[in-house]
Amino acid sequence: MRSSSRFAAAALAAALFALPSAAQEDAGAEDSPGAYVFHAAGCHGCHTAKDGVALAGGRALETPFGTFFSPNITPDVEHGIGAWSLEDFRRALREGIGPDGTTYYPSFPYDNFTRMSDADIAALYGYLMAQPASGNVPPKHDLSFPFSMRSLLVVWRALYFEEGPRPDAGLDPQLARGRYLADALTHCGACHTPRTMLGGSDDDLYLAGNAQGPEGEKVPNITPDKATGIGDWSEGDLLFLLKAGMMPDGDVVSGSMAEVVRESTRHYTNEDIAALIAWMGAIPAIENKP
Amino acid sequence: MKKILVVVPALAGLLLGATLTFAPAITQAEDSATVVHERQQLMKNFGGAMKTIGGYLQGGIGTTEEVAAAAGVIAEGAARIPDLFPAGTSMNDVMDPKTGAKPAIWEQWDDFVADAEIAQARATTLQELALAMDDAALGGAFEALGNDGCGGCHKEFREKLE
């Protein structure tokens, strides 16, 4: 019988949750590096409509700025991304600009994906291009004025968009990896960090909760603040949240977070779980009740 | 009693077609208050059971017998879920600030019932593994229960309230 409750998260994860070892032959395989990035980045959730074809878009994302409908990212040449080169794809993620020069709304969280490494972008591209194509044509965005004016994205970009991966600047490698998972791939801040009036990420409240999350959800503060955040959670508590969706009181997460656990975090390697947990413990505690 | 009758047919379901099954209707507000209370208690029991299993996995608290019993609570309780969600008891119908039962439950009743069945199946698997004292497989079974069972239903059908 195990008796110690002072497990390191990685050791606990390794003891409890077995993962298959990675084979890396086929770019579209479920155990390929591209699939790993795909899951961690949560592409499936936003790009698949309810009961719709996987990745064929059309999921409605209700926000304070209006309703966005995700595009088709299957390799269909006409209605998906089948005609895109790797460079087109890289530019979409890194710069938020489509092959035809269209600037994307940040409902596509390219302010997160811009931080992805070239290697991860290439792996993800390979994976997506190996998925089944669909000719689905999603509805157009339905946005309120003035957000319906795409030209205004110039302002958003000037104020909030910083292109490219962030330097590690002496950060401990495990923390750097944790930050990369949180910010570049799983884009936790897209929901857990509040947005300014103009839709920019309010970085002074990094992960400190968002009263107006996507789909009308109130999103909790996940900084280590004891009163308003998750400062009293143990590493084991975080592990169980990220793997099984269970919170310390035995309740299981709902709505978008149920989807995030299911699609993304439960697929992390044990090392990545530990890295994310380390990062969550290292970020500033911010007192904020959304 | 004091409240008016609350009879809300699953209109959206009717529009979807005749092959769907329907949630049992409820006729009196007094019954709906009782049933809401009852299902909240059921969910609390699930939470307690999850905590018991989590405590064992995380810190070796308790025994496999207790884990099996807790999984049994979830398996047996999950079988009761459809009966505890009669039509007319969504968060929009019932004057109970604590119910987060989304109207989608009755719009997609078959999905809801299927989710409850998955929860029951995953909990039963976990119970069997615990009875067999198969510690190595419990973590994975717990992950499946949380995600496919509890989370599968919570994702679509439950509004998290404070």
pLDDT in tens, A144-192: 988 888 888 999 999 999 999 999 889 999 999 999 999 999 999 999 9
pLDDT one-digit tens code per residue, A191-246: 999 999 888 999 999 999 999 888 788 999 999 999 999 999 999 999 999 999 99
The length of chain A in residues reads: 290
CB contact under 8 A, A253 and B57: no
B30: left (phi over 0), alpha (psi -120 to 50) or beta: alpha
Q: Report the C-alpha gap between A49 and B134 in whole angstroms.
A: 39
Q: How far apart are CA A222 and CA A281, in angstroms?
A: 10
Single-letter residue type at B139: G
Supply the Cα-derived Rg of chain B in whole angstroms: 17
Tell me if B57 and A250 make a contact (CB, 8 A cut-off): no
Sheet with A60-63: list strands edge to edge: A60-63, A66-69, A142-143
Q: How many residues does chain B have?
A: 162
Summarize the confidence of residues A88-110 as an average pLDDT.
96
Residue type, A206: Y
Do the beta carbons of residue A191 and residue A214 sit within 8 Å?
yes
pLDDT, one tens digit per residue, over B65-115 is 999 999 999 999 999 999 999 999 999 988 777 789 999 999 999 999 999
Residue B123 has pLDDT above 50, yes or no: yes
Is A261 in contact with B51 (Cβ distance < 8 A)?
A: no
Q: Are A184 and A116 in contact (CB under 8 A)?
A: yes
| Predicted TM-score (pTM) of this structure | 0.88
In a mutagenesis test of the A interface, which of B40, B51, B58 is the best target, namely the one with the most A β-carbons within 10 Å?
B58
- Measured between alpha carbons, how far is A166 from A173 in angstroms, rounded to an integer? 13
> Would the pLDDT of A20 be above 60?
no
Task: Identify the contact set of chain B against chain A, taking CB-CB distances under 8 A.
Answer: 46-51, 54, 57-61, 63, 100, 136, 138-140, 142-143, 145-147, 150-152, 154-155, 158-160, 162
Identify the three-state secondary structure at position A81.
coil
Supply the DSSP symbol for A265: G
Q: Which residue of A has its CA nearest to B101?
A: A254
Residue bearing tokens 């946005």: A143
CB contact under 8 A, A253 and B48: no
Task: Give domain limits for chain A.
Answer: 9-17+24-282
Instruction: Quote the DSSP letter at residue A151.
Output: G
Q: Helix A235-244 vs helix B135-144: angle between axes, to the nearest 10 degrees?
A: 60
Q: Assess contact for A94 and A113: CB atoms under 8 A.
A: yes
CA-based nearest residue in chain A for residue B140: A17
Domains of chain B (ranges, CATH numbers): 25-157 (1.20.120.10)
**β A66-69/A142-143 pair status:** antiparallel
**Can you read off the two tokens belonging to residue A39?**
């899951």
Say what the ipTM of the complex is. Answer: 0.85
Beta bridge partners of residue A195, listed in sequence order: A201
- φ, ψ of residue A62 to 5 degrees: the values are -85, 130
In three-state secondary structure terms, A155 is helix
